[in-house]
Amino acid sequence: MNDDEIATRKMQFLFALRSKGVTEPRVLEAMEKIDRGGFIKGLFAERAYEDMPLPIACGQTISQPSVVALMTQALDVQPRDKVLEVGTGSGYQAAILSQLARRVYTVDRHSRLVREAREIFEALDLSNITAFTADGSFGLLDQAPFDRIIVTAAAEDPPPPLLAQLKIGGIMVLPVGQSDHVQSLIRVTRNDGGFEYEELRPVRFVPLLEGVGRES
Ligand code: SAH
């Protein structure tokens, strides 16, 4: 691809986001600034600006850009927020969040993905992201509570430790349902009296698995 082709594809990319309901200017700005092409290696790199999920290492996927943007929009991130992401994957979603939040913690069960994402964060100078290898279904007790939590792998129900690590007034966005089925993207808001649940749209994510991966 030459520079002109890349510029055209990027324009189409932003147009596709708008047509799918991404309207929040700060989210669109972040999606414009962070180049998805930097998070995809090898054969699929030239499809980075298409609105589709693509394979990454460890048998995982980088989510569809419109889903990344719609989840980010639903999360309603504020500039002072401390955010937890479960499921670092390529690091793309964390990079988008880093443009909107004060601090982003992201965890993945595969150490290789965490290592590769850290290298990208460093190269892009995204110094407000910290990535760890951990089973994110337990959250990140050291840094809890969080203003916002986003889970990018599907559990059958919201993991109780994540609900517990959400601040009062906080918001969590996550897919729920069985991994081989269409799942529901839901938004959980914690208020004084408890939790409010809202169903947003059907989605498909890889499963939230227990423990950390065995590879080095
Ligand atoms: N947000 C990513 C896409 C994530 S794909 C991106 O922007 O590219 C889902 C990721 O969740 C996978 O990398 C998978 O390893 C991770 N995952 C699954 N179960 C997990 C768990 N219990 N704790 C942490 N990460 C988990």
Query: Predicted confidence band at 64 (pLDDT cuts at 50, 70, 90)?
Result: very high
Ligand 1, closest atom to CA 209? 19
From 52, 70, 71, 86, mutation site for ligand 1 pocket: most ligand atoms within 8 A of C-beta? 86
CATH of domain 3-203: 3.40.50.150
User: Residue 135's closest CA among 165, 155, 110, 171?
Assistant: 110
How much helix, strand and coil, in percent to the nearest 5, is found in the chain? 40, 25, 35
45 vs 113, residue with greater confidence: 113
Cα–ligand 1 centroid distance for 184 (angstroms): 17
Give yes or no for a contact between 215 and 58, defined as CB atoms under 8 angstroms apart: yes
Q: What is the pLDDT of residues 100-151, one digit of tens each?
A: 999 999 999 999 999 999 999 999 999 999 999 999 999 999 999 999 999 9
Report CA-CA distances (Å) from 39 to 143, 145, 194, 209. Answer: 26, 29, 37, 23
The pLDDT of residue 215 is: 67
Query: Is residue 208 in contact with ligand 1, taking CB distance under 6 Å?
Result: yes
**pTM for the full model?**
0.96
Question: Distance between CA 15 and CA 28 in Å, rounded?
Answer: 10
Going by CA atoms, what residue is nearest to atom 18 of ligand 1? 208
Query: Is residue 61 in contact with ligand 1, taking CB distance under 6 Å?
Result: yes
Question: Distance between CA 115 and CA 162 in Å, rounded?
Answer: 24
**Tally of residues, the chain:** 216
Cα–ligand 1 centroid distance for 210 (angstroms): 11
The pLDDT of residue 7 is: 87
Contacts of 66 (CB under 8 A, 6+ apart): 16, 17, 20, 22, 51
SS3 118: helix
Residue with token string 């100078």: 125
Contacts of 50 (CB under 8 A, 6+ apart): 13
